[in-house]
Structure 1
Amino acid sequence: MMRERDERLWNAGLHVVGELVNDGHEAYLVGGCVRDRMLGRPLHDIDITTSALPEQVMKLFSRTIPTGLQHGTVTVLEGGLVFEVTTFRQEFGYSDARRPDEVAFVLDVREDLARRDFTFNAMAVGLDHEVIDPFGGRNDLQARIVRCVGHANERFSEDALRILRAIRFGAELGFELAAEVWEGITLQRQRLSQVAMERVGTEWDKMMSGANPELAYHWLQQSGLLAHLKEQLPQQLVDYQMSDRAITHKITSIVDVDLRWAALLTSAGLSVEQSLQFGRSLRFSSRRGQRIASVVGFSQMLQFDANHERCTFAREHWIDAVLAYGISTAEDWHKIYRTETSTEYEWLASIPITVVSQLAIKGNELSKQLNKPPGPWIAQILQHLLAEVAHGRLANERDALLRIASTWD
């Protein structure tokens, strides 16, 4: 099914190329789709490069979106699919270490390919299925190496985000970083401080959800990149040597990227507040950030040593952690560190109740039965009753709960 989808996407892209060629322009499939097809990887999108100017593209196709006309890009909607069509161009000046200050349209596809980041992203395929590969991208794919188009130091000085992309591609594809690429990363790493944290977060999140998050993190840490971001990260994370820890064997086996993050931050020794701030720095949604930090906090309540996989907690500590962070966090923790046959899973299933709303008595009843006005005392008593029932020290029955509540000082 996936291969059928890829063929459909590829052929639909060639159809758009054909429409441009029939209108008298040069046009090619370019970049990531060419690379991934050569590697036999799933295609995610199709980019097209052409000699046609944006206004010519918009005139030719009935459904278009002027995505970035100043950079020559038009989104074409054809057959229910989306294609980014960009005019052959050169780029000049990168004063913000991210975007070109000036773009000039050109007529030669090879000039367009020369502005791209890595050799395996600088290949194009036309209607004749011939590959235009002026920088040896196919050879580098075969050699399994990440190499820049031209000088790595120059490419990274133009757009600092390429530094993170080099690491992401290397880790995801299992490729070696060429020596000049690693040198360029270390020489230009301070320019990452000019890149928006949202873009950093997007790249790093892709690394963490990819095939080899451990290798990606190792390169990020060893290169010193983590100390040169726009916003300062917790020092524990900057210094953390993941390759020396047992957790490195676990992260890839975790399916959920948020739980991969939780495993990393726990093993690096971050606190709950540091984890929350980290999520904010990388511009994660508040929901994602809270979920990740909750797993970190859950582990801390258990005094769980993620690096050496030592379990030093008793059932009482486990129940307290569940009451503090909830059943969903306990289940997340299990997905990282335990199987469904573990003792802790049995403990989770045996807890009678886990939230105040499951108590057999409500706050207004307490106020009425004890003849006291509502106040913070109600929440305190309910939490106390919840703990007593959850630990099995008290039955979840109205009369029993009232009896204990009446003795509350």
Structure 2
Amino acid sequence: MSNREAATAQAEILTKAGHITYFAGGCVRDKLLGLKPKDFDLATSATPKDVLKLFPGSNQVGAHFGVVITKYAGHHIEIATFRTDGSYADGRRPDSVTFSTPEEDAHRRDFTINGLFEHPETGEIIDHVNGLADIRDRVLRAIGTPSHRFQEDALRLLRAVRFATTLDFPIETSTLTALRENSHLLHKISPERIRDEFSKIITSRNRRRGIELLVDTGLIQHVIPEVIALIGCEQPPEWHPEGDVYTHTCIMLEMLEDDASLELCLATLLHDIAKPPTQTFDEESNRIRFNGHDTLGAEMTEEILSRLKYPNAVIRDAAHMVSRHMQFMNVQQMRKARLKRFMSVPTFEQEMELHRVDCASSNGFTDNYVFLHEKAEEFAAEPLIPPAWISGKDLIQCGLTPGPGFKEILDEIQTEQLEGRITSREEALAYLKKLL
């Protein structure tokens, strides 16, 4: 049974019990846009008490707000009672709710495209907010007075940018004006909720527009304020004819593949985040320089993503990519052992994509990218880092005491192995004896 079938079955049970019940929100919107809905939520005249009576054992966590989570045929279905909201003292959740009618419920929602209902059996669309017209015209519009909607729940500020980005909808003028006027309210929202919305924006295929909207509305100040300094940060025109660091970064984001990972998208956005604080002008060469921006950039990336409460694995990979993005210019001069180590890290394929868009958005050089592809084919016959011929146990058997010097010895022998000068354990043991 599909998620829709499970929700339809529950709607039928509610309807037979005498309760008006509709599909609501995102599933209606997505169906009308030709997209595959992820979840099917129900809105009903049944109170939480009624819902719990019909579906014993359901989750009552949201019952205070008229929301019950039921489980049916292995699917979790959100069933919400038609309601109107009281005041929003914390700028996030209503202090109280009053159970109401479908029309009143539609008018308390955020955007017209999310305020539609669908009859589960007939497919009839119930439109109290003129959402059908906005879906037809592909425009994002707040329901009622835009400022009121954003002041009720400041997370809607980011949701507006997210929907405009993922659906590629322009934002209606008064809604956009209200976004700018109320951007400061985002400080009321927790880092975790900001992170979740921002992740959807940055991983969208339309991610460049998402970042530009965040900057244009002032919301970026409450997400990643460090991005603002990229605007107007000049670069050497011979290497970056496209313009300042912000323009360069935006072009890179646009060039990424549609399915780029979250870590790669974050690394692309932040790869030059340290250029403003490291910018100097070398009078002798008459050039702008950004010495050490990769190292400082990795530190800033860790700080920024930690502030947004990203998982440690995401922070680690994104920061690692930022720390190494300047090393690609030296790959053709690397010894075989160092090159193999460079190519063996788990993030290498993503770093290749970062390097590709970094060059394509600026100087257009492809020499290092092509070189690495050729080397990948050349090295493909065996693991980049094969099992070592020598271990610490061998060093102990030779009479050495474990300590920091072990790694230096093992690394040197591994280097000889990677260079192809040691091809067996016997040769490795002979080389070890020579070292000792």
Q: TM > 0.5 between the two?
A: yes
State the AA in 2 paired with 1:18: E
Shift of 1:156: 0.9
The answer to whether residue 393 in structure 2 is matched with residue 364 in structure 1 is yes
TM-aligned CA distance change 1:62 to 1:277, over 3 Å: same
Q: Which of 250, 255, 261 is residue 260 of structure 2 equivalent to?
A: 255
The answer to whether residue 391 in structure 2 is matched with residue 398 in structure 1 is no
TM-aligned CA distance change 1:262 to 1:132, over 3 Å: same
Give me the whole-angstrom Cα distance separating, in 2, the residues matched to 1:185 and 1:401: 68
Contact persistence 2:69–2:77 (CA under 8 A): yes
CA deviations on 1:317-354 (whole Å, 9 max, x unpaired) are: 79647636843222332344459993203334556875
State the match for 2:212 in structure 1.
218
TM-aligned CA distance change 1:94 to 1:318, over 3 Å: farther
Shift of 1:24: 1.4
State the match for 1:307 in structure 2.
none
State the match for 1:173 in structure 2.
167
Shift of 1:290: 1.3
Give me the whole-angstrom Cα distance separating, in 1, the residues matched to 2:377 and 2:335: 15
State the match for 2:132 in structure 1.
138
CA deviations on 1:232-285 (whole Å, 9 max, x unpaired) are: 657656886247754134224453332222222225456222222233223222
Further displaced range: 113-122 or 319-328: 319-328
State the match for 2:303 in structure 1.
277
Contact persistence 2:263–2:317 (CA under 8 A): yes
Further displaced range: 177-186 or 271-280: 271-280
Give me the whole-angstrom Cα distance separating, in 2, the residues matched to 1:293 and 1:321: 20
SS at match of 1:328: coil
Give me the whole-angstrom Cα distance separating, in 1, the residues matched to 2:30 and 2:150: 23
Give me the whole-angstrom Cα distance separating, in 2, the residues matched to 1:243 and 1:18: 54
Give me the whole-angstrom Cα distance separating, in 1, the residues matched to 2:404 and 2:431: 18
SS at match of 1:104: strand
Shift of 1:375: 0.9
SS at match of 1:29: strand
State the match for 1:120 in structure 2.
113
Give me the whole-angstrom Cα distance separating, in 2, the residues matched to 1:174 and 1:319: 46
Give me the whole-angstrom Cα distance separating, in 2, the residues matched to 1:222 and 1:263: 20
Shift of 1:400: 4.9
TM-score, normalisation: structure 2 = 0.80
Give me the whole-angstrom Cα distance separating, in 2, the residues matched to 1:153 and 1:381: 66
Further displaced range: 335-344 or 179-188: 335-344
Give me the whole-angstrom Cα distance separating, in 2, the residues matched to 1:94 and 1:376: 60
Give me the whole-angstrom Cα distance separating, in 2, the residues matched to 1:67 and 1:43: 24
Give me the whole-angstrom Cα distance separating, in 1, the residues matched to 2:222 and 2:194: 11
TM-aligned CA distance change 1:246 to 1:55, over 3 Å: closer
Contact persistence 1:214–1:243 (CA under 8 A): no
Once the two structures are superposed, the pairs formed by residues 284-323 of structure 1 within 5 Å of their partners are 284-302=310-328, 311=329, 313-316=331-334, 320=338, 323=341
Identity of aligned residues (%): 28
Once the two structures are superposed, the pairs formed by residues 214-253 of structure 1 within 5 Å of their partners are 214-229=208-223, 233=226, 241-242=246-247, 245-253=250-258
SS at match of 1:24: coil
Once the two structures are superposed, the pairs formed by residues 202-217 of structure 1 within 5 Å of their partners are 202-217=196-211
Give me the whole-angstrom Cα distance separating, in 1, the residues matched to 2:299 and 2:249: 25
SS at match of 1:95: coil
SS at match of 1:263: helix
Give me the whole-angstrom Cα distance separating, in 2, the residues matched to 1:122 and 1:344: 51
Further displaced range: 384-393 or 27-36: 384-393
Give me the whole-angstrom Cα distance separating, in 1, the residues matched to 2:331 and 2:229: 24
Q: Which of 378, 383, 389 is residue 406 of structure 2 equivalent to?
A: 378
Give me the whole-angstrom Cα distance separating, in 2, the residues matched to 1:245 and 1:33: 31
Shift of 1:393: 6.4
Shift of 1:301: 2.9
Further displaced range: 346-355 or 265-274: 346-355
State the match for 1:308 in structure 2.
none
Give me the whole-angstrom Cα distance separating, in 2, the residues matched to 1:317 and 1:264: 31
Shift of 1:175: 0.5
TM-score, normalisation: structure 1 = 0.84
Q: Which of 334, 342, 345 is residue 352 of structure 2 equivalent to?
A: 334
Give me the whole-angstrom Cα distance separating, in 1, the residues matched to 2:337 and 2:259: 24
Give me the whole-angstrom Cα distance separating, in 1, the residues matched to 2:91 and 2:341: 47
State the AA in 2 paired with 1:226: I
State the AA in 1 paired with 2:298: V
CA deviations on 1:63-109 (whole Å, 9 max, x unpaired) are: 52213111111112223322100111111222222111222222x11
Contact persistence 2:192–2:309 (CA under 8 A): yes
Contact persistence 2:164–2:171 (CA under 8 A): yes
Q: Which of 77, 83, 90 is residue 83 of structure 1 equivalent to?
A: 77
Contact persistence 2:253–2:268 (CA under 8 A): no
State the AA in 2 paired with 1:323: R
Structure 2 gaps, min length 5: 233-244, 275-293, 357-365
Contact persistence 2:166–2:206 (CA under 8 A): yes
TM-aligned CA distance change 1:242 to 1:15, over 3 Å: farther
Give me the whole-angstrom Cα distance separating, in 2, the residues matched to 1:45 and 1:78: 13
Contact persistence 2:352–2:369 (CA under 8 A): no
How much is the aligned-residue C-alpha RMSD, in angstroms?
Answer: 3.0
TM-aligned CA distance change 1:392 to 1:15, over 3 Å: same
CA deviations on 1:9-47 (whole Å, 9 max, x unpaired) are: 434433322221211112111111111111110011011
Give me the whole-angstrom Cα distance separating, in 2, the residues matched to 1:275 and 1:321: 25
State the AA in 1 paired with 2:86: F
Give me the whole-angstrom Cα distance separating, in 1, the residues matched to 2:104 and 2:335: 64
Give me the whole-angstrom Cα distance separating, in 2, the residues matched to 1:223 and 1:184: 9
SS at match of 2:271: helix
SS at match of 1:191: helix
SS at match of 2:23: strand
Contact persistence 2:252–2:268 (CA under 8 A): yes
Give me the whole-angstrom Cα distance separating, in 1, the residues matched to 2:194 and 2:51: 32
TM-aligned CA distance change 1:405 to 1:332, over 3 Å: farther
